[in-house]
Amino acid sequence: MTFPPENSNSRYSVKQPIREPVEKIEDSSKSHKNCFSASIARARGVIIGRLTEKIGEEQLIAFGPLLLMLGIFLMPLIPNIVIFVFSLTVMSLASGMMRTVVPSFISKISPANEQGGILGVTNGVASIARVPGPLIAGFLFKSAGSAAPFLASAAMLIVAFGFGFRVRAKRVRS
């Protein structure tokens, strides 16, 4: 946040004693915004690699949406910081799992000459889905309450679990 200089003629100038605490609050909020991203990075770098080696990509593709559904479902039910941290950890793990394992799996099952196109379409569809998602979530929040976007997202992940489970079943049989 920037403030006009103290000696400016602006009627909105802020005296020095207030500036420092406000700037500290803004700086600390930036670090909280990066908490989820840092958790995803840790999950991708350490945990997902180990899980892939032990369990396999097919299992992670099937059960990643279930973990994400659990984390999202818990978000509107948070009574304290412990549940919040647990929910955030589960969501970070699941998101890291899905963002790492799905492209890897797609590149392994697609023909070499089509990998770039298939991965491009996958990322394109994900990007396009990010446009209506917040609009729908905002509408649900306003019309049905603060828990509605979380519950709707959790319900939609049942479909992702179904697709992942089908992929897992086909790969395990072959």
Tens digits of residue pLDDT in 21-42: 444 444 544 555 566 666 666 6
Per-residue confidence (pLDDT) for residue 75, from 0 to 100: 87
Per-residue confidence (pLDDT) for residue 37, from 0 to 100: 66
Percent share of the chain, pLDDT over 70 = 72
Which residues have a Cβ under 8 Å from the Cβ of 23 and sit 6 or more positions away? 1
Sequential DSSP letters for 15-84? -HHHHHHHHHHHHHHHHHHHHHHHHHHHIIIIIIHHHHHHH-HHHHHHHHHHHHHHHHHHGGG--SHHHH
Against a cut of 0.85, is the pTM above it?
no
Per-residue confidence band for 145, with pLDDT thresholds at 50, 70 and 90: very high
Q: Where are the domains of the chain?
A: 16-173
Lowest-pLDDT choice from 116-125, 146-155, 162-171:
162-171
Architecture category of domain 16-173 in CATH = Up-down Bundle (1.20)
Per-residue pLDDT tens digits for 111-143: 989 989 989 998 898 889 889 989 999 999 999
